[in-house]
A and B are shown apart, each in its own frame.
Chain A
Amino acid sequence: MLAAVGVAALAGAWLFAAIRLWRTSVPGDLSLPGLDQHRYFGDAQLDRVASYEAFLRVDQLLATLATLVALGLYAARGARFARESAAGRIGTGMLLGMLGLGFVWLAQFPFGLAALWWEREHDVSSQGYVTWAINNFLSVGGGFLFISLALLIVMALAGVWRRRWWLPAAPALVAIGLLFAFVQPYLIPDLDPIRDPQVAADARQLAAEEGISGTTVRVQNTHNLGGGPNAEAAGVGPSKRVILWDTLLESFRRAEIRVVLAHEFAHLSRHHILKTFAWTALLALPIAFFVALTTRRRGGLFEPAAVPVAIFVVAALLFLLSPLQHAFSQRLEAEADWVALETTRDPGATKALFRRFTRIALVQPDPPGWASLLIDTHPSIMERIEMAEAWRARHPR
């Protein structure tokens, strides 16, 4: 009886937290006008971005499928790699975890290469194949370190609580994730202050208007990455900062950069990074429980042999939960767009920004619904333009 009450209380708290996190400051009665994309983009342009994105979407789906197949095989046969370890229980678990990620890398490599080829064909990327391959390989190192730390925690907890390790493990892993989020901005290379005094002044003014005066803004040299324009908000607490790619500053007008800055500041002022962690924590608890359940036949995560199964289960669950994750992410992005509109009060620049994105980065303005569900973390370009129009309709001059 007590257990049932406990589970019910836990489920209630879970639901309450999920509903709270789902809410945003975008007006609930905001209705998007449903615009025709042909009003903003030419037919040739729409055809080009549609074919460009179609290839990348299929490529990404195939990569995901290959990853799941590779991890499925690894779950079935991976325990044999324990013989390659002279480490103890936890060390062997770490090795198996890292090799699992190694298989993921091997499975995704050809699809990544195909994506790069496609981007180069369309002048979206200028990165060389060898540079990409080396960077891609070395970037796995971060994943290896993270999974080693995660397995150290989980398997150590499983040593103490053989079956109920998942209860303390979920918050512990989220705490580790938060620590990484705190440190991550300090690890981004090639960061410089904004050189353009006008953009720097805009950044100061917009940060003040959003109530986060003094937020650091840095420009990242991304020429060696060879990608299109972008920006990001990173860090938690004192490490919070906004990072603009230099390719963005080179390709966009000042009013459009203001919109990007306001959007990224909104992520920080509305605590989107923390909210994302809270959301992840909500999902981590049932995922950890499910992992504990599915690895019992191999002795639970106390045994290194259970690690390949655990990795497969986590990957499969994350894939199944990806529509929920993407929907949550799209809501946060929509809120950041809305706050940016409220701050800049410049829907014209907002629309120009997204039209330019379509032209430079070949983003499809109105992608198919399944892509929005399975792949996209942001609202579509048309939805974002429609939001700008909706804001204008609510604020007549």
Chain B
Amino acid sequence: MRLYVGEHMNGEETAEPRSNEAPDPNPQARIVVRDDLRRSRLTVFFRFFLALPHLIVLGVWSLIALLMAIINWFAILFSGRTVGGDLQVRYLRYFTQVDAYLNLAANPFPGFGGEADSYPIEVEVSEARRQNRWKTAFRFVLALPAVLLASTFGAAGAQVGGDNFRASFGIIAAAAFLGWFASLVRARMPQGLRDLIVYGLGYSVQVAAYVLLVTDRYPDSDPLAPRYGPPPPDHPIRISTDDDLRRSRLTVFFRLLLWLPHLVWLILWGVATAFAILANWFVTLFAGRPAGALHGFIAGYLRYWTHTTAFLYLVANPFPGFTGRAGSYPVDLHIAPPARQNRWKTGFRLILAIPGLIVVGALGNAFALVALFGWFVGLMLGRMPRGLRNLGVFALRYHAQVAAYVWILTDRYPYAGPSLELPRPEAVPVPQSG
């Protein structure tokens, strides 16, 4: 087994072929990024108010799009074909442009017509005229899982029950909220947050295209599918996967219970790790770099946590070992050796980690759905859908990066974008250790 850091997931082609292919009569809606990350502080500050005219237009257009979808539902059931020209496609384009503007994924004020090739965040989508009647008849039922998953990407949500009130950010809203502050300070959107929003927008537009009967291709949650533009800089905490998507139905059924021994070991090892982190914090604060032994101990625990969490959330299939040994599991965490760290960043690490923790919280709901859907699909098909698996890998990597940051394994900030897992030109095959 060979693991490739920064290479394709499992050596697979993670996105559709991008050139020299025959045109797909029923293509997946896909998002393309041409944004340069620069932001105008003024328009960022007033972004929501500036977007208000668009939101009004979008509201009206959404009603029309819904009406068109109902008409098309009958049209497809009776004739197998849609009607209405490219109205729905233009709506999807406009909807994405407005969302991108509102959520700071792009800088310029969008036009009102949903024109193609007019905006830095673009949707490539064409209406499938011929669609499967069965898939159309049950579209709203079939769409439920995708709509549920898309809801975790959406805006903020709130739960009220009894005396409890809980507000939570969707993934896009959390990234936009953090991006707003960053853009005001630096006049530049952090690439990770931008890519995260782009991913959310891309999935949302796929769901909208499916629900509005623009296409009968099921939405693909693969975070590696969008074209994000130039790759981000390397990171000391990377994830790799050598998973073949096969799942054992028996271990899927009992997955939660099979994980219990690992939970016990996580708790016991975690107590020792907590002391090691504290000691490592002092060492790094005074010496300017972590102690090698402490770094190795904490890294082992984090790798073990990654293995067991991948197992629990069905991101990988086999029962993991209890040692967290590098290269011992199909979904593996690669942690760079100890390096110098900024003392200021070390001193205020917990406060600095708050934005990362917000994104972790936002990703948590999607990650839970990966496990839930993966459980049902795994039981039925004995396989994990690639899109869901890759979303799980991404969520797992980000969780691990935030943990590594908080636990003083690195002072490099967690990279929120899914593009870190995309192929890198300079990627070097790393042989499996042990």
Contact = CB atoms under 8 A, between A and B. Distances in A.
Interface of A: 81, 83-88, 90-92, 94-95, 98-99, 102, 137-138, 140-141, 144-145, 148-149
Given A86-B328, A87-B321, A91-B319, A102 B264 contact: no
A148 B321 contact: no
A98 B254 contact: yes
A331 B307 CA distance: 50
A141 B257 contact: yes
B257 A140 contact: yes
A83 B253 CA distance: 17
A87 B329 CA distance: 8
Interface residues of B, number: 22
A86 B321 contact: yes
Nearest to A86: B318
Contacts of B251: 81, 84, 95, 99
21 contacts: A81-B250, A81-B251, A84-B250, A84-B251, A86-B329, A86-B330, A87-B318, A87-B322, A91-B320, A94-B261, A94-B319, A98-B257, A98-B261, A99-B250, A99-B254, A102-B254, A138-B257, A140-B257, A144-B254, A144-B261, A145-B261
Given A95-B258, A99-B258, A102-B254, 16 more contacts: A84-B248, A86-B307, A86-B321, A86-B329, A88-B322, A88-B323, A99-B251, A102-B250, A137-B257, A138-B257, A140-B257, A141-B256, A144-B254, A144-B257, A148-B260, A149-B261
Contacts of A149: 261
B317 interface: yes
Contact of A84 (B256, B318, B321): B318
Interface of B: 248, 250-251, 253-254, 256-258, 260-261, 264, 307, 317-323, 328-330
A40 to B, nearest CB: 45
Contact of A148 (B261, B307, B318, B328): B261
A86 B319 contact: yes
A91 B321 contact: yes
State the 4 A-B residue pairs at the shortest beta-carbon distance, nearest first: A86-B318, A87-B321, A148-B261, A95-B319
B253 A102 contact: yes
Contacts of B264: 145
A373 B254 CA distance: 34
Nearest to B325: A88
B319 A84 contact: yes
Nearest to A89: B321
Contacts of A141: 256-257, 260
A322 B330 CA distance: 44
Contacts of B319: 84-87, 91-92, 94-95
Nearest to B316: A86
B432 to A, nearest CB: 12
